[in-house]
Amino acid sequence: MKVRSLTMRHYRNYTDQTVVFDEGVNIFSGENAQGKTNLIEALFFLSRGYSHRAVRKQEIITFDESDMYVSAEVTRGDVRHNIRYKTDQSGKELTLDQKKAKHSQVSRTFPVILFEPDDLHIIKAGPERRRRFIDEELSEAIPAYRKVLKQYRRALKQRNALLKAIRQDATLTVMLDGWDEQLVALGSKLISYRLAYLKRLNTAAKKIHRILSGEREELSLMYQNNVIDRPAYQRDIEKAFAEKIAESRETDLEKGTSVTGPHLDDIVVMIGGREARRFGSQGQQRTAAIALKLSQIDIYEALTGELPIVLLDDILSELDESRQRNILKLIDRNQSVITCTNADFMRRHHPEGIAVFTVHNGVISQGGKGDQTEELPSGTEDEKEDSQDIN
């Protein structure tokens, strides 16, 4: 699918702006604080229904304005769709082809994958950040996952509240069994999804990492989970979970929180057999982060059959030229929207020609197509299935 155009009215620092995109690479260049991230945010927001940086939805409305809308024309094959989100006195409304819609429907019609500088810290960050990475992408690609995740979080909250309440009133302990069952049933489903996802992620990230590191280093991922330590059938996961949760009941009551379950999962990223988070250099951690992030594009396509639009917000300037080139090569089948403060590099190196726009103080104007110069080096085609590290 492709996005043909985007219109923003009273969106952040855009008063009334329409952008018509190229089907391939779209570069938005501009100085700081001109509206590049706001444009990326508008595309992300329209697709996902939340902003990757605003805490409250109100923040995206231009200061001192009360009404706003953002809309996009997208095409899937020969079919055109219109997506529109507006907020005014009568409230908020999202429509897909003029009919009220849910965001889950919209993100299927208009899938995006965002890559921003903060993603480069995914290896260094705490486990919560890596869980968010898995949850966001799995929720986008598999609607059932989103549902189970929500139910699991609700059950976990209830169980934790009950654990605390039992300290005051021991007779409430009888209620714990029911919540244990819920947690086990829902949590086992989550673990099952994550196991399958991590297997794909391991294969995809390994392949991309080889390209990025010039074959010098080997990346592998391990799913770290305190219920089961190897791939298993759903019923075996449930059995193991039920045992573990029974074993940890005393600790849970003592701590007033649940210490067993996928809410504590992590992905351990290894480079050359050593944990990247602890032993990797900054460059190695960044390369591993890029490999994880770019894997999402292939995995999304494998799971849904759709090529998502790739949004790169100011990511290239953070990287050296060979990494920049490799990234562009890896996303060359996708439509992309790329922001930067200087488009010269793209003009020099992109083979297919690119659409260049300038962003200045909330106004976007079209530059020209880039020169067609140098060919990019092609990546390795090593397709070797290599997922035994997931265990």
Ligand X SMILES: Nc1ncnc2c1ncn2[C@@H]1O[C@H](COP(=O)(O)OP(=O)(O)OP(=O)(O)O)[C@@H](O)[C@H]1O
Token reading at 72? 């996009």
Binding to ligand X (CB under 6 A) within 18-57 occurs at 30, 32-38
Q: Which of 50, 62, 59 is nearest to 8 (CA)?
A: 62
Pick between residue 37 and residue 87 the one whose CB is nearest to Mg ion: 37
The least CB distance from residue 124 to ligand X, in Å, is: 21
Pick between residue 116 and residue 265 the one whose CB is nearest to Mg ion: 116
Q: Please tell me whether residue 37 binds Mg ion under the rule CB under 5 A.
A: yes
The least CB distance from residue 100 to Mg ion, in Å, is: 32
Residue appearing with tokens 């379950």: 261
Q: Please tell me whether residue 63 binds ligand X under the rule CB under 6 A.
A: yes
Pick between residue 106 and residue 340 the one whose CB is nearest to ligand X: 340
Q: Which of 15, 3, 92 is nearest to 50 (CA)?
A: 92
d(CA 38, CA 185): 41
Token reading at 231? 């791939």
- Torsion, CA 123, CA 128, CA 131, CA 137, rounded to 10: -90
Number of amino acids touching ligand X (CB under 6 A): 16
The least CB distance from residue 146 to Mg ion, in Å, is: 28
- Per CB under 5 A, the segment of 32-40, 116-124, 159-167, 295-303 that binds Mg ion is 32-40
Binding flags for ligand X, 292-331, as an x/- string (CB under 6 A): ----------------------x-----------------
Pick between residue 270 and residue 340 the one whose CB is nearest to ligand X: 340
Q: Which of 1, 97, 99, 93 is nearest to 49 (CA)?
A: 93
Partner from ligand X, Mg ion, none binding residue 62, C-beta < 5-8 Å depending on class: ligand X
Q: Which of 82, 74, 76, 85 is nearest to 9 (CA)?
A: 85
326 within 8 A of 286, measured Cβ to Cβ: no
What lies within 8 Å, CB to CB, of 29 at 6+ separation is 36, 339, 340, 341, 342, 343, 356, 357, 358, 359, 367
Residues that bind ligand X (CB under 6 A): 12-13, 30, 32-38, 59, 61-63, 314, 341
Site residues for Mg ion per CB under 5 A:
36-37
